[in-house]
Amino acid sequence: MNPLADKYGAAQLASVNLVPQEIAERKKMRAVQLLAVVVVLIALGLVVIGYLGALGAKELARSDLQDAFNAQVDAFDARDERLPVFGAYVQREVSEYTMAQVGWGEIDMAQFVVAIANQASGKQSSFTTIMVVPPSALGASAEGQDPVFGNGVGVIRFSATASSAEEATKLIKRIEAVAGVASVRAVSEEASTNGEDPLWNVEGTALITPSALTMRLVPADSLTGLTGEAILRTLQGLPEPSASPSPEADEADDATTGEGN
Amino acid sequence: MRSKYAPIAALAALAIIVVLALGWFILIKPQLAEASAFRSAKEDVEASTAKVQTATARLERYSNDLAALAPLEESLAVNAPSSFDVEQARTRIIEAARTAHVGIASMGVEATVGVEGWVVKASERPSTSVAKLFQDLPVVPREGVTVPDAWKEYLPPLEVPGGESSVVAGMYAVPVEVEVVGSYDRMAAFLRALSDPDEQLLLIASLEVVARNEGASEIPTIASAKDGDVILTLTGHMYLLDPTGAIEDEAPGGTSRPAKPSPFEPSDSAADQK
């Protein structure tokens, strides 16, 4: 009785294996060897499949990289096409600065001189000379600047004759009231006569204030922030009241916004 | 069974391990490593692309901002031309004196003065901010892509200026001196005529009004003084930007012979002409 028959209750017959055991074992050995070879080949196949997959992944990544690089080339080309923007900005700066520098010192001189001269119209006082030195593109006149009486953008000197010292005082007061004129003062006064009439000669000086400037040519629509107010602040050495609307500030705003997002 | 087939099983297992190991380390892993490197490079390239696209968008905005500003070219051409029109300047002064009924006692054009442009820090100039947007360099992978020759050594198309300098170079002032004589109200009319906003700026850099009352010394060709008259002396600046300095000589060639009467004979006075 073989073990299988015992286990499963086969008929109580004697089993006879006619295949010689050596042959059967050799056959099993070949089957095992074949199985081993097949398993190894399967492993090899897996390696090949893995390799092909990896190769495909690499080529896909390479292709994606090439696409990304081409997109980068296009992006840089698109940026460099805007190179003329730089030249346009430089040109605009030159235009604004030129207009501001040549024009900031302009005064409506016909109106200004007449406004000053009219203060002496009458019998009690008259001008002998009026000299006006306004600012220009070369700068503001340093003459007449005084730590006590202040700094203007230009200076006025005048010679006048009054009927008395009191009338001279009134004349100075009236000149002081003219728009664009300040710190009017007599630097030299002396009594004289015109025949029998007493006279009071006055040599005076005054400052021209920024309100006399027309600022007609200073660009109101400024890219550089070079407004009339900014020019005067610079001349007076005052700090900027706040951050200027420059592109840097613009970029800083963008950065802040970006962080906020 | 265990004893007989174990070596084969062991050999097979060994062979499988060897095949898988060799396949992984020699064939598969290098490909995956390269793929990973390409993906990493792609991320860098895409980051660079995004950055430059942001710069481009900002440039577009700057361009639009600039286009929205009122143009200055016309005003600049009128008030700071590149050449000095002598005839126009003379005509303007003479015509202003004629319409204002003042007499010109003297006039002249002094030597040109160079005007130093206002100095500004480069960092405060909007154009510097624009230049900064052109400083990004592309990411060029060392392998895996076909690179155009121009991109192998890419340089920024602009340099960012530094320090401080004059925005405007090449600005000049031509000083024009005029002395006119007339009544007070005509002096004012003369000044008004000179300051026509449609003409080139004649910026008065100094002005002196002197009383010329009755009995004052005579001035040739000018009427005798009356009380209330004035002598107005002014120096005006006319500005030029980037003058070429080119000389235009349109005189025809040929031989010139002495003219008659002699150019050096005294000219007729105004009284004689009448």
Q: Which of B8, B16, B121 should be substituted to probe chain A, the one whose Cβ sees the most A Cβ atoms within 10 Å?
A: B16
Tens of pLDDT, residues A62-92: 999 999 999 999 999 999 999 999 999 999 9
Tens of pLDDT, residues A205-247: 999 999 999 999 999 888 998 888 888 887 766 555 443 444 4
- Taking contacts as CB-CB distances below 8 angstroms, the residues of chain A near B75 are 99, 217
pLDDT of residue B189: 96
- Closest alpha carbon within chain A to B3: A29
Across A56-153, where does the E strand assignment appear? Answer: 125-133
Map residue A36 onto helix, strand or coil: helix
Tens of pLDDT, residues A148-188: 887 889 999 999 999 999 999 999 999 999 999 999 999 99
Give B150 or A43, the one with higher predicted confidence.
A43
Length of chain A: 261
Question: Hey, is the C-beta of B52 within 8 angstroms of any chain A C-beta?
Answer: yes
Residue A142 has pLDDT above 80, yes or no: no
Residue A173: alpha-carbon gap to chain centroid = 47
pLDDT band at B1 (very low <50, low <70, confident <90, very high): very low
Rg of chain B on CA atoms, in Å: 41
**Cβ contact A113:B191 at 8 Å:** yes
Cα–Cα distance between A36 and A44 in angstroms, integer? 12
Cα–Cα distance between A181 and A179 in angstroms, integer? 6
Cα–Cα distance between A82 and B32 in angstroms, integer? 40
Cα–Cα distance between B157 and B218 in angstroms, integer? 68
- Nearest by CB: B15 against A35, A40, A136: A40
Q: Is A33 exposed, middle or buried (CB count within 10 Å of its CB: 0-12, 13-18, 19+)?
A: middle
pLDDT of residue A123: 80
DSSP string, B173-241: EEEEEEEEEEEHHHHHHHHHHHT-TTSPP-EEEEEEEEE--TTPPP-TTSPPP-TTEEEEEEEEEEEEE
φ, ψ of residue A140 to 5 degrees: the values are -90, 150
Residue with tokens 């900027």, as numbered in its chain: A240
Q: Which DSSP symbol is given to B124? A: G
| Residue A189 host element (H or E) | strand A181-194
pLDDT band at B167 (very low <50, low <70, confident <90, very high): very high
End-to-end CA distance of chain A: 86
What one-letter code names the amino acid at A109? M
Task: State how far residue B267 is from chain A, nearest Cα, in angstroms.
Answer: 36
Picking from A4-8, A9-13, B119-123, B202-206, which range would have the lowest pLDDT averaged per residue? Answer: A9-13
Cα–Cα distance between A97 and B241 in angstroms, integer? 11
pLDDT of residue A165: 92
Rg of chain A on CA atoms, in Å: 51
Its ipTM equals 0.86
| Residue B113 host element (H or E) | strand B113-115
Tokens representing A217 are 């040519």
Contacts of residue B23, defined as CB under 8 A and 6 or more positions apart, other chains included, come to: A43, A44, A46, A47, A48, A50, A51
pLDDT of residue B192: 95
DSSP H helix total and E strand total for chain A? 7, 4
Rounded to the nearest integer, the mean pLDDT of chain A is 85
Q: Which of A95, A159, A257 should be substituted to probe chain B, the one whose Cβ sees the most B Cβ atoms within 10 Å?
A: A95
Q: Residues 3..62 of A with a Cβ closer than 8 Å to B: which?
A: 25, 29, 32-33, 35-37, 39-40, 43-44, 46-48, 50-51, 53-55, 57-58, 60-62
Of the candidates A205, A22, A212, A198, the one whose C-alpha atom is nearest the C-alpha of residue A108 is A212
Length of chain B: 274
Residue B80: alpha-carbon gap to chain centroid = 12
pLDDT of residue A242: 44
Residue B251 has pLDDT above 90, yes or no: no
Task: State how far residue B249 is from chain A, nearest Cα, in angstroms.
Answer: 30
**Cβ contact A202:A186 at 8 Å:** yes
**Cβ contact B195:B202 at 8 Å:** yes
pLDDT of residue B228: 84
End-to-end CA distance of chain B: 150
φ, ψ of residue A202 to 5 degrees: the values are -125, 130
- Taking contacts as CB-CB distances below 8 angstroms, the residues of chain A near B34 are 58, 61-62
pLDDT of residue A243: 39
- B56/A114 touch (CB, cutoff 8 Å), yes or no: no
Q: Count of CB atoms within 10 A of residue B182's CB? A: 24
Tokens representing B60 are 């577009």
pLDDT of residue A255: 46
Out of A93-97, B148-152, B227-231, B244-248, the most confident range is: A93-97
